[in-house]
Amino acid sequence: MAEATDLSSVKSRFESEVGHQTNYLSNTMQIFAAFKHLIPEFHAYSDEEKRYNIGATWTAADGLQDFHNLELRYVRNSERLALQGQPQPDGSWKYVEPNGCVHTISAERAKRFMEQTQAHAHIVCDMLDKLRESGMGQEVLDTQAHPA
């Protein structure tokens, strides 16, 4: 009979402990549910337009969402590469890399670059003439000038 008493006291203590843990767990879950609208759901993905999206969404108790997103897009445009491409009807230049990346330079900037390059070429020619005249210009640079 002593064993039965011990078993029943153990059983009653176990049920009391389980009940206490269940109440604790239930209370903890209620606390988390109360603060759920303060804890966002984070996201990070790349979309079809090659933009990186990073953000968070808060969901209110009524189910309405507050969405925050930062879109990042890496863009590279090399005017130097564009000048290695093809002239366009509007006077601009365009080069397309094998991976599809497009590089452009406007007609105005291309014209300004050509004028600047031409001015530098004139300066270099004058320098070479002066070197030759002074007898110091032993090395000859072979170049061709194209009219602009």
pLDDT band at 75 (very low <50, low <70, confident <90, very high): confident
Cα 35 to Cα 17, 73, 81, 126, 147: the distances in Å are: 27, 34, 54, 78, 74
Domain positions in the chain are 1-38, 40-74, 79-134
Task: List pLDDT tens digits, range 26-67.
Answer: 777 677 666 667 788 999 999 988 899 999 998 888 889 899
- pTM > 0.75: no
| Per-residue pLDDT reduced to its tens digit, 14-35 | 666 655 566 666 777 677 666 6
- Span 90-117, mean pLDDT? 95
Pull the structure tokens for residue 45: 């993905």
pLDDT of 7: 67
Bridge partners, 73 (sequence order)? 51
Query: What does the alpha-carbon distance between residue 36 and residue 127 come to, in Å, rounded to a whole number?
Result: 75
Quick one: how far is CA 89 from the chain centroid? 32
